[in-house]
Each structure stands twice: as structure tokens, then as C-alpha cells.
Amino acid sequence: MVKKNTCVFISGQGSNLRNLIFHSRDDKFPVKISLVISNNKKAFGINYAKKYHIPFILINTNDQNYENKILLNLKKYKIDFICLAGYMRIISGNLIKNFNNRIINIHPSLLPKFKGLNTFSRMLKKKEVKAGCSVHYVNKKLDGGNVIIRKTFFIDVNDDEQILKKKTQKLEYRALPEAIIKIFRNS
């Protein structure tokens, strides 16, 4: 199997990146993590790129040219697929156009519910019964592309934001690899 060269975009902890790196070691997993891009030089996730010898690029989104830098590097590393994993910036229309249907994102809610930030506090305020995560294609609408996979759990009366985050992330570590397998199943 020829693995797809994949770039993971991060801004923070990078636990989903770490999980993907582990999965990508399996010969049957359809992607190879070939590049990591972070818009935050202090992102802890960069350590995983270093530790596992994956090239990484830091971008400064205040630079006028940052878009170009991203596109040039995606080309340089022959990237065919992009995975946003905790990347806290909106992806530009140009990048979406260049990677049409080849960018996915993991979001900590059952989309289309609770798009955007602060999902857990909003869920608790609304007294939701269920929580979970969604992997979806990225289009121009924030958290608005077609959903590939959702994973759900029931919210317990004692669940606070921290616990919800923990439970959600546990599901994310299954959802993201499963979504990738599903996408490339027939290719």
C-alpha cells in the first residue's frame, strides 16, 4: 500500500498527533505523517514531531506571507492529505481550494451541534444528554463540512468541563484513525 503523505496541523498539546503517529506505524494504516505544522511555537505537540523525527514547520499567522509558506511546504513534502488536530486558526479559502476534500478536522462535539469554541461549557449550560466528537471535512464554513464519523457518550450528572474533555478525547483517539481508514478504504 502506498501511504498518503499527510500533514498534521496543531496549536497545542498534540495528543491526537501522537495518536496518529502511533497508528501510522501500522503497515495497513493508509497515511504516513510526513509533516507537522504549528502556528504556536510553544505548542507541546512539537515535541512529538521532534521525538519521532518528523519534519515540522512553525508559522506565524501575523506574517503576510504565511499562507505561501504553508503551500510551499505542503508542496515540498508532497503532501496529499491534511489533518487538523487542535489547530486553532481558520484555514484559508485558498488552501481549501488546493486541497479540496482532502482536509479533515476533529471537533469536540456532536456536530452540527456546538460548532466553534467552548463546546463543553455550552453543553453543560444547555443540559445536553449526550456529548462526543466528530471528524468532518473542512470547507469554508466553520466546523461545517460533511461529517465522516461521530462518537457519542452519555453525560453523567457529575461530569464537569474537565471530565467531559477527558471522555471526549478518549473517543477522539478512536474516531480520527477510524475516519482516515474509512476515507481511504476504497483507494
Catalytic residue positions, numbered: 107
Quick check: 12 binds ligand GRF (CB under 6 A)?
yes
Q: What nine digits make up the cell of 82?
A: 491534511
Quick check: 39 binds ligand GRF (CB under 6 A)?
no
Quick check: 150 binds ligand GRF (CB under 6 A)?
no
Shortest spacing between CB 175 and ligand GRF, in angstroms: 9
Cα separation of 21 and 146, whole Å?
A: 25
Cα separation of 8 and 33, whole Å?
A: 7
Is the CB of residue 35 less than 8 Å from the CB of residue 56?
yes
Is the CB of residue 99 less than 8 Å from the CB of residue 30?
no
Residue among 7, 8, 9, 16 that touches ligand GRF (CB under 6 A): 16
Quick check: 5 binds ligand GRF (CB under 6 A)?
no
Strand partners, 149: 135
Quick check: 85 binds ligand GRF (CB under 6 A)?
yes
Shortest spacing between CB 17 and ligand GRF, in angstroms: 6
Choice between 4 and 107, CB closer to ligand GRF: 107
CA nearest neighbour of 9 among 53, 51, 61? 61
E strands, 129-175, in order: 130-137, 147-154
Shortest spacing between CB 2 and ligand GRF, in angstroms: 26
- Taking CB under 6 A as the binding criterion, the range among 57-65, 69-77, 93-101, 103-111 that sits at the site for ligand GRF is 103-111
CA nearest neighbour of 105 among 137, 147, 140? 137
Shortest spacing between CB 60 and ligand GRF, in angstroms: 19
Quick check: 143 binds ligand GRF (CB under 6 A)?
no
Neighbouring C-alpha atoms within 13 Å toward the C-beta of 137: 13
Quick check: 86 binds ligand GRF (CB under 6 A)?
yes
Nearest residue to ligand GRF on Cβ basis: 86
Q: How many CB atoms lie within 10 A of CB 160?
A: 11
Residues that bind ligand GRF (CB under 6 A): 10, 12-16, 45, 85-86, 106-108, 133, 169, 172
